Amino acid sequence: MIPVMKPLLGDEEAAAAADAVRSGWVAQGPRVAAFEEAFAARVGARHGVATSSCTTALHLALHLLGVGPGDQVVVPSLSFIATANAVRYCGATPVFADVDPLTGNLTASTVDAVRTPRTRAVLLVHQGGVPADVESIKALGLPVVEDAACAAGSTLHGRPVGTGALLAAWSFHPRKLITTGEGGMLTTDDPSWAQRLKRLREHGMSVSAADRHEARGVVLEQYTETAFNYRMTDIQAAVGLVQLRRLDAIVAQRREFAARYHELLAPLGVRAVTDPAHGTTNYQSFWVELPDDAPDQADVLTTLAQAGVSARRGIMAAHTEPAYAGHRHGPLPVTEHLTNRTVILPLHHELTEDDQHTVVDALAKALVAVAS
């Protein structure tokens, strides 16, 4: 079976994790601080605050902005479900906006169509690594939190996604380009926000456990507000520091493989995800849109599986899941089209040219197969 994704992990990551273990400091400590600094610098932000996941990072970002009961936050339904859930964690209401048919991302006009006087923020996803048009959405005048879970290494107007972000949330789940097993990060340019976020992820403590350990003499901490335990461990950060050094090579290779897919897919009449006008994708997800006359998505996935190709349905749509049954929303025709009529093809570092031919040949068969 050709897997859809595979994390690139080597001996260096294993050695770095072992070093952290041998150091005796395994919870949030110096390696987390080093990873925060290195990651923030890589994505063009002044400050990084590591978290246990992107989901918890999104929750912290909305909590920081004061989002609460009675508030609405505009989100795409076309996203991993954590995007919408983060709004519910704050007791607020996610309001689903439709997306651009080419990129799968929110646009200024789809956000504007659903905003109300209760809209407190926009959660803008760079879906599958494709950069969203951040500037045009910021121009609406609402605070924009970027869900950059998939977008490490993508660019916007020639600069890394994350540069200039009010708040951006990142994921280091193995389904993304670089991984710490589980893990996340918030980046921001605002030093006071970074400081508060560091307290919020650590029980609201006025002095971090690591700083208390470093201090000479007795340091008594205070708990300044009700907060969370959303910390990353130093074992994870040790792995993350090695992964970060691989990021550029991972992106370059994925873009090379994507270019080959584009070439091989051209005769099939499927539309494949590609760079938008305003930036470049890291191809975290390589999806194709099935032609109108092709069989159902499920039949296509079945035919691919029978040929040894592990593909996935398109990006999920939260509003179609039981967790959002009865949740009110306006029409989402593009979201529904993309979730039902796209499939994600395998893309990972061990993919060979032969594998890519196998995938495309299988897809060609699947497109003409009569649903059985």
**Are 248 and 230 contacting, i.e. CB atoms less than 8 angstroms apart?**
no
| 83 touches ligand PLP (CB under 6 A) | yes
149 makes contact with ligand PLP (CB under 6 A)? yes
**54 in contact with ligand PLP (CB under 6 A):** yes
The answer to the question of residue 147 lying near ligand PLP (CB under 6 A) is yes
Query: Least distance (Å) from ligand PLP to the CB of residue 224?
Result: 26
By the rule CB under 6 A, 173 interacts with ligand PLP: yes
Smallest distance from ligand PLP to CB 240, Å: 12
* Residues shown for the chain: 372
| Cβ 173 vs Cβ 284: under 8 Å | no
With contacts defined by CB under 6 A, name the span among 74-82, 201-209, 217-225, 273-281 that binds ligand PLP: 74-82
- Residues sharing a CB contact under 8 Å with residue 361, sequence separation 6 or more, in sequence order: 307
User: Using the rule CB under 6 A, which residue among 28, 155, 171, 358 binds ligand PLP?
Assistant: 171
Only one of the segments 80-88, 110-118, 220-228, 266-274 lies at the binding site for ligand PLP (rule: CB under 6 A); that segment is 80-88
Residue closer to ligand PLP (CB basis): 178 or 264: 178
**Strands 342-345, 286-289: pairing kind:** antiparallel
Whole-number Å distance between alpha carbons of 36 and 31: 8
Q: Which two tokens stand for residue 345?
A: 């093809």
Give the amino acid at 337: H
Which residues from 179-218 bind ligand PLP, rule CB under 6 A?
Answer: 184
Active-site choice (6, 176, 198, 365) = 176
Q: Active site includes 176?
A: yes
DSSP 346: P
Q: Among residue numbers 108 through 127, which ones bind ligand PLP (CB under 6 A)? A: 125
Hey, which residues does 94 pair with through a beta bridge?
73
From candidates 53, 105, 155, 188, binder to ligand PLP by CB under 6 A: 53
What share of residues in the chain are helix, strand, coil (percent, to 5)?
A: 40, 15, 40
Terminus-to-terminus CA distance in the chain, angstroms?
Answer: 22
**Residues touching ligand PLP: how many (CB under 6 A)?**
14
Q: How far apart are CA 3 and CA 239, in angstroms?
A: 23
Rule CB under 6 A: is residue 100 a binding residue for ligand PLP?
no
Active centre residues (catalytic): 176
**In the complex, which residues of this chain contact ligand PLP (CB under 6 A)?**
53-55, 79-80, 82-83, 125, 147, 149-150, 171, 173, 184
